[in-house]
Chains A and B, each alone.
Chain A
């Protein structure tokens, strides 16, 4: 998937995002968690639903890193997922979708087609 063929959703202004935390973006029936990892100056987006108990919660989770891998911890049971790959880092057989993010002129865009 190249950038040009993705559908970019204008999610919010940079100042509406939470520094070193997440917000939830509504995309039709879908919910996407958008993380502004200010400490690393990086943006990430994933599905908002935690696959463990199917809770719409990841945007309210704490972000951080394990070795150098950026991750988010679900506020319910602290399952952690890689923000890069969506892989579950707590040893479970589940993964989350991740989406591309770009910032242009102070607006944050989320690509609505998940990264493969």
Chain B
């Protein structure tokens, strides 16, 4: 059977949201979208950020492939020009026609342009699309004075944009006696006006523009009170006009003042045609905000998938920051006495105005207005919507409790699970909490991904964050950055304290800085710091028992209780003689051999008792520890490079060996790996390493903070065309910065992901020495490098340490009889877990 075909006219925020919601519910329906603008749907709410350096791409709501991935056909720059309802066909600007089963109007709105004589003159603009912004920005270059008609939300945004464009004299003309007449009252408007005036904006209220003067292009505005105002350009932002002309032309019912009439199912007078967003007229009202538009999209998408949802009147509360000034209104903001009791707080010195309307019985909050400080907006809105009983002194809601007690209102905990936190996406408190408790979300990004909360206007983010932290805490999951119950410090703090106090053993550290007896969390962490700081033999008496499982016996404990042995093979280069030694040792001690991912050889299945003798033989043949067991440098992988390869630019093997020998044995918060490629073909896969080096014509490119593993991440370019010495200097600094500041068991990629400012900040620190730490770090790492010793050599030569490599204290010669091996492909392997 052929899928029913849905055609969406309009690719704005609501049209896009409809597609997203529909596709999240079903993959059936052929979905075709026609957009008039040349680009994919973008965030019109934050349009003015386009002037603050955001690009059209940043504002885009989807990625380039999204429509294709979702199996949606998207036509841009291709408006629908005619609809034939009888044939159920749309005709497009490029002369094609398409049949629909269901037609959705998401045509949005255009700017309302009042019919003022001279409005067609050059220098008059509207403020609606990215193209409008491009035009305004180009024209502003030659303008000294500008005016905005409209003192509403969008008009103020436009005025801000003009200031950002460098026009000093910007005027705001408003027909009504106050600014933002839909949101705030006269007193609030006064406060806002005085703040905007401070910023250099001229505000003219009660002004009716009668003419736009100028020869061909605008030079001045004339008003009905016979005053006038110079203006090199004019931005009209006097409201919106629903885009209903197509609907009107094909005979669908529209409102007298515009808007496509819809019922609570978003259905128009034609049952096959629906309208959503700012073009839809519901119960005589156009909803000019994104949240109700999204709700309409949700209603329609649900009903098309055989659900049953209805649209009902929508809360029009808003909060925004205008030129740095908080403005918010919520609930019933204009209700006055005697229908309510009003509490007003005004501080002209600070430019703060707050008004709340409380029910006559003092029980509930009905609505309010906030200017200058809207930090309480989310709580107040929730208190009003959810009819949460007010405290005895409701004034505390806007003044804060005095006398040092907790702020009234009990905060987010008092909200019911049904409380709507993100109205753009319709996400409730319960949804957000569940994403943490059941969905495993542990940070704000997870929650955003999982619930979509905060992905619309973003206004609810502080509340989402509070809910996240609160829920994590109540689960005992909250990660206050301390190590464990024994140390009330972060790793970085502990690192500095151990350094300052020159503590050398775990016990000293615990006694000096911690409490109680320690545990399996702080022991390896402190041991790692001690190793990073002093580079002493990690099994020195007292420190051996504070090492993690693998470090404790300088080998990786494997399933069954045997260990594996990995000698270092720097750069992956090995002589035939050494290969033979590895083979002989493996045969003698019956070890399974395998080539590792890091270009060396792993010998598995060694008994604890055999480790010292195995290593004695390897060391005698010139091998040393490979530190495969430690949180430190693993391998520096290399391609064969210019010595053999016909493409090679430099000798990648020699450089890899130099790097590996330089950093071997240095311990860090987590393991780290490296690679060197001799040319851009990148055979050593350097871009998947904690630091990777790729030869260029002029030197080396240095990449940092990549890793494979469960969440692969490419390394990022830190610096280009370096000579070998500079490259090493940067790596020195990079490693010390990482060792000093990373959280425990954090790979470099995650470390960078958490770093404020990201790679640019890191580059500044490493290359430009913005912290002034470079000399110290270079000195510190030099100390670590010069104190390197093979710890296996030390272990086999020290009788006290060697004594620990036996399984039974009362039968030192006997090996663990419980270890079992089975045969596979001519070698041994460990027996399966005895329990599953």
Contacts and interface: CB of A to CB of B under 8 A. Distances in A.
Contact of A54 (B557, B808, B834): B834
Nearest to B560: A55
B523 A76 contact: no
Interface in B547-572: 548-549, 552-553, 557, 560-561
A34 B809 CA distance: 9
Interface of B: 485-486, 507, 510, 516-520, 522-524, 541-542, 544-546, 548-549, 552-553, 557, 560-561, 804, 807-811, 814, 816, 818-819, 833-835
Contacts of A23: 809
Given A53-B833, A54-B833, A40 B517 contact: yes
B809 A60 contact: no
A43 B814 CA distance: 24
Interface in A75-104: 75-76, 78, 80
A60 B551 CA distance: 11
Given A66-B485, A75-B557, A20 B545 contact: yes
Given A54-B833, A64-B518, A25 B808 contact: yes
Contacts of A11: 809-810
A67 B486 CA distance: 9
Contact of A76 (B549, B814, B819): B549
Contacts of B548: 62
Nearest to A22: B545
The 6 nearest A-B residue pairs measured at CB: A21-B545, A64-B519, A75-B549, A73-B520, A23-B809, A65-B517
A12 B810 contact: yes
Contact of B809 (A19, A25, A40, A80): A25
A3 interface: no
B833 A70 contact: no
Contacts of A71: 519
Contacts of A64: 486, 517-520, 522-523
Given A20-B545, A31-B808, 15 more contacts: A17-B809, A20-B546, A23-B809, A24-B808, A26-B810, A31-B816, A31-B818, A34-B809, A37-B517, A40-B517, A49-B818, A53-B834, A56-B818, A62-B545, A70-B517
A59 B33 CA distance: 67
A52 to B, nearest CB: 8
A107 to B, nearest CB: 11
B542 A19 contact: yes
In this complex, which of A24, A52, A53, A64 has the most chain B Cβ atoms within 10 angstroms of its Cβ? Answer: A64
Q: How large is the interface on A (under 10, 10 to 19, 20 to 34, 35 or more residues)?
A: 35 or more
A40 to B, nearest CB: 6
A44 to B, nearest CB: 12
A46 to B, nearest CB: 15
23 contacts: A12-B810, A18-B804, A20-B542, A20-B546, A21-B544, A21-B545, A23-B809, A25-B809, A25-B810, A39-B510, A39-B518, A52-B835, A53-B835, A60-B557, A62-B520, A62-B523, A62-B524, A63-B545, A64-B518, A66-B519, A73-B519, A75-B557, A76-B557
Nearest to B541: A19
A16 B806 CA distance: 12
A68 to B, nearest CB: 7
A24 B809 contact: yes
A20 B507 contact: yes
Contacts of B816: 24, 31, 56
Interface in A1-48: 11-12, 16-21, 23-26, 31, 34, 37, 39-40
Contacts of A70: 517
Contact of A16 (B518, B519, B809): B809
A57 B818 CA distance: 11
A56 B559 CA distance: 11
In this complex, which of B520, B553, B814 has the most chain A Cβ atoms within 10 angstroms of its Cβ? Answer: B520
A57 B545 contact: no
Contact of B545 (A19, A26, A31): A19
B821 to A, nearest CB: 15
Contacts of A17: 809
A39 B834 contact: no
Nearest to B803: A16
Given A54-B835, A75-B557, A65 B810 contact: no
Nearest to A80: B520
Nearest to A51: B835
Contacts of B819: 56
A61 B518 CA distance: 13
A26 B809 CA distance: 8
A51 B546 CA distance: 23
Contacts of A76: 549, 557
B549 A60 contact: yes
A38 to B, nearest CB: 9
B835 A68 contact: no
B542 to A, nearest CB: 7
A31 B561 CA distance: 14
